[in-house]
Amino acid sequence: MTTLNDYLIKLKIPDSDRAALVASYGSLDADTWIEELEIIATALDVDQAPNPPACLCDPWRDMWHDMHSNPGDISNSVKQVSEALGTDLHLAITGLLGRIQQELQTRYQGVKIGSRFSANRARRLGNPLMKPPDPKLVALLEHILTPTKGVTASIRHSNAESALLDWLNDAGKFIRTPEGDLYYLWHSSHTLYELDTERWHAWLHQLTCISPATRPFSVLANACKSAASLNGELKEVVRLAYFDTDTKLLWVSRFDGRVYCLDGDTITLKNNGDGPVIFDDLSIWQPYEPILVKPDKNATDTISTMPKWQKPMYSWAYKIWTQSIFFTELCPTRPILVMLGEKGSGKSMALRLLLRLLFGEYSQVSGVPDKPDAFSVTAAHYHLYAMDNLDTLEPWLQDKLARIATGAQDEYRKLYTSKEMGTLIYRCWIAVTARTPDTLRRDDLADRLLLLQLGRVEDIDRRRESLFLSDVDTLRSEWWGRLLYDLNAVVKELQTNELPITSPLRMADWEALGRLMSIQANQEPLWDDIVAELKKNQDDFLAEGDVVIEAIDAWLNDSSYSPLSIGSNLNRWVTARELHKEAEKSLFGLEKPDSTWPRSVRSFGRRIMNVKNVLEQRYGMEMRLNRTKSLEYWFDNK
């Protein structure tokens, strides 16, 4: 029997939230409580009050009744009820609902890989309080679909399709993306719906008042998919932000059907769909009201200095990374932000803080997915994917992270088809917290990491997390206002100056953008120091625990092979074969080497090239080709 605590652990709910929820509701029937949680989360997701019967468990019962009393403001019902429970429980409940909504919204993406729209869930979406946008359309469809003597069902369905598609064409437009995803943009609210999702089915249900569990609804839903696939306007659909490299304008979603256009001088509010792309906002993202007047106090600086960084310069690196996520088009390769620190250093809080400022109180740090498909689905769905406690070694996760960092895409076979393929495009930015992130210690990943170390927060300085987050909520409008102001200054700089062509980092695109941002803010010397620090951190991170470096270190102190018996192997040219054999014996002696040791000379040489920078810095390694064209190595300091 599943307990509430087990369920929350499986969802990877933070310990503080889990403790508050279990203390308040752990004695209730867990199955009923969990089922009603999903009912409320679904209602919040589709913005419709759920059907009777009423929920039985606290706090869902009060939310259910409030939703039916105020059917036009579903999210406010949740907020009113949860806020009355106190700060800690309010944060725990909103965080849990946000996590469940993430599950609900990414479930359809797993959908493309895994399951269909649930008829049982569809029945739950309907409710007698729905107010259709156009009652005349409802009456027309009802008239058309009512059985009439001499009119077959196929004719009735065809006529209903025509009536609905005519209405949809007048009220909005169908969209298809280059990847083949299908959408509908409703002009009245400038809201984008992805076809075949529960949210789209809920809205189509409200529009037509035809139950999603019936045959006519299925016919109409399929007609919409055909119309979008065959005649939809080809347009890119993105989340959060888009930088138009042709016009050099930045578009930032406000999460309410409107977007800000930043032209370097002004910040103009426009409707979703007016620009070169269309924004698909997650329903859990809460709109913001930025204070666009330049404030005296820089809220973005205040937020970026809140984490207890091990070095002050990390604050600027963190701020640059935060601004960079709005310029995905300039960063085909994107650094993975790694918040390193021991328990109690505030790693998770730093990411939770950023998500809350960007997207509102329902946005949460995620746990590490258990399966590759779950990771792919979430990464393709989010713009910023924050994972907590990435400390376990998952080989498949290494490959996925490497692909996302390089802006790759994945293909999959669509469900219930034998040949039709779908595409997952990764535009997301990855941020993780870790203490010992062995998963990331791979040469093709290490030089794509932005490693920022945090120090432990002293007990005397530690505040309750709920109070901390509440204080941050009050800064959201000011933070967004200053952020848009800073982003507009970057747009101005991009219009005036070109990005640097070369870079000392492998993450050249991001480093060039960060340099331009630093130049604009008169912080280029600081950026030079940060780049040098990041490069050193990457080398040290890759070197930590690397068996080849450990073996060479042991070999340099081993006088057994030194022809001059000077106590080390410094200042001696050795071939790759000699170094492989001698270093192996110096490290392992008579024991059998472990599985991490390269078995062949060729693989040993490749491993040396992977850590070449570290060996050159630590041991003064040099390389040359001898007379037989074999590679030789020389070490002159230690």
Mind listing the pLDDT tens digit for each residue in 387-431? 888 877 677 887 888 778 776 677 666 554 445 566 777 888 999
- Region 188-202: mean pLDDT is 91
- Within-domain flag for 628: yes
Look at 466 and 157; give whichever has higher pLDDT. 157
**Angle at CA of residue 470, ends 38 and 96, nearest 5°:** 15
DSSP reduced 3-state for 179: coil
Q: How confident is the model at residue 171 (pLDDT cuts 50, 70, 90)?
A: very high
Lowest mean pLDDT among 97-111, 444-458, 485-499, 599-613: 97-111
Contact 330, 513 (CB under 8 A): yes
Whether residues 99 and 140 share a domain: the answer is: no
The backbone region for 362, taken as left when phi is positive above 0, alpha when psi lies in -120 to 50, beta otherwise, is alpha
* 292 falls within a domain: no
pLDDT at residue 126 in the model: 43
- Residue whose pair of structure tokens reads 């969209």 in the numeric block: 175
Let me know whether 12 and 99 are in one domain.
yes
Confidence of residue 125 (pLDDT cuts 50, 70, 90): very low
HSE-up of residue 435 (Cα within 13 Å, Cβ side): 8
Q: CB-side exposure of 506: number of CA atoms within 13 Å?
A: 17
* Angle between helix 30-46 and 198-208 (nearest 10): 70
Residue 298 domain flag: no
Q: Is residue 290 part of a domain?
A: no
Are residues 271 and 321 located together in one domain of the fold? no
Does residue 597 register a pLDDT over 60?
A: yes
Residue 113: pLDDT band (50, 70, 90) is: very low
Query: Which one is predicted more confidently, 302 or 153?
Result: 153
pLDDT band per the 50, 70, 90 thresholds, residue 116: very low
Helix, strand and coil percent figures for the chain, each rounded to 5: 50, 15, 35
Is residue 638's pLDDT more than 70? no
Name the average pLDDT for the chain: 84
Same domain, yes or no, for 594 and 512? no
pLDDT at site 413? 60
Looking at 515, 543, 571, which one is the last position of a domain?
543
Q: Do 227 and 267 fall within a single domain? A: no
Contact in structure between 568 and 562 (CB atoms under 8 Å): yes
pLDDT on residue 420: 59
Q: Supply the pLDDT for residue 593.
A: 86
Give the per-residue pLDDT at 115.
Answer: 38
Q: Do 459 and 312 reside in the same domain of the chain?
A: yes
pLDDT at site 294 = 66
98 shares its domain with 152:
no
288 lies in some domain: no
* Least confident residue range of 123-127, 258-262, 318-322: 123-127
- Checking if the pLDDT of 450 tops 70, the result is yes
What mean pLDDT is predicted for residues 146-160? Answer: 89
Whether pTM exceeds 0.85: no
Please check the confidence at residue 288 and state whether its pLDDT lies above 90.
yes
Count how many domains the chain has.
Answer: 5
Q: Do 528 and 561 have their domain in common?
A: no
When pLDDT is averaged across residues 525-552 and rounded to a whole number, the result is 85
| Predicted confidence band of residue 549 (pLDDT cuts 50, 70, 90) | confident
Q: Where are the extended beta strands (E) located within 388-534?
A: 409-413, 421-425, 429-434, 449-453
Please answer whether residues 56 and 505 qualify as being in contact, where contact means their C-beta atoms are separated by less than 8 angstroms.
no
What is the arithmetic mean of pLDDT over 533-543?
81
Q: 């996760």: which residue's tokens?
A: 397
Domain boundary among 214, 237, 260: 237
Predicted pLDDT at 422: 65
Residue 431 placed within a domain: yes
Indicate the residue among 237, 255, 290 that finishes a domain: 237
Q: What is the rounded (10 degree) CA torsion for 228, 234, 239, 242?
A: -170
pLDDT value at position 122? 41
| Token representation of residue 284 | 């859990």
Residue 536: closest CA among 503, 502, 505:
505
Domain identity same for 535 and 573: no
Range of the domain at 42: 4-115
Is residue 443 over pLDDT 90? no
What is the CATH number for 418? Answer: 3.40.50.300
Same domain, 512 and 442: yes
The answer to whether residue 130 is domain-embedded is no
Q: What is the mean pLDDT of residues 340-359?
A: 84
Cα–Cα distance between 516 and 111 in angstroms, integer?
Answer: 41
Least confident of 171-180, 499-508, 548-557, 565-574: 565-574
For residue 243, give every residue at least 6 positions away whose Cβ sits within 8 Å of its Cβ, in sequence order, or none.
249, 250, 251, 326, 327, 328, 329, 330, 491
- pLDDT at position 628 over 90: no
Asked if residues 218 and 65 have their Cβ atoms less than 8 Å apart, the reply is no
360: alpha, beta or left? (left if phi > 0; alpha if psi -120 to 50): left
Q: How confident is the model at residue 565 (pLDDT cuts 50, 70, 90)?
A: very low
Contact between 549 and 614 (Cβ < 8 Å):
yes
Residue 488 in any domain: the answer is yes
Same domain, 220 and 180: yes
More confident residue, 541 or 118: 541
d(CA 239, CA 284): 13
Residue 156 predicted with pLDDT over 70: yes
- Dump pLDDT digits (tens) for 45-78: 777 888 788 899 999 999 999 998 887 788 888 8
The residues, any chain, with a CB within 8 Å of residue 504's CB and separated by 6 or more, are 511, 531, 535
- 311 pLDDT higher than 60: yes
pLDDT higher than threshold 80 for residue 209:
yes
Q: Are residues 202 and 96 in the same domain?
A: no
Per-residue pLDDT reduced to its tens digit, 248-259: 999 999 999 999
For residue 111, pLDDT over 60 is answered with no
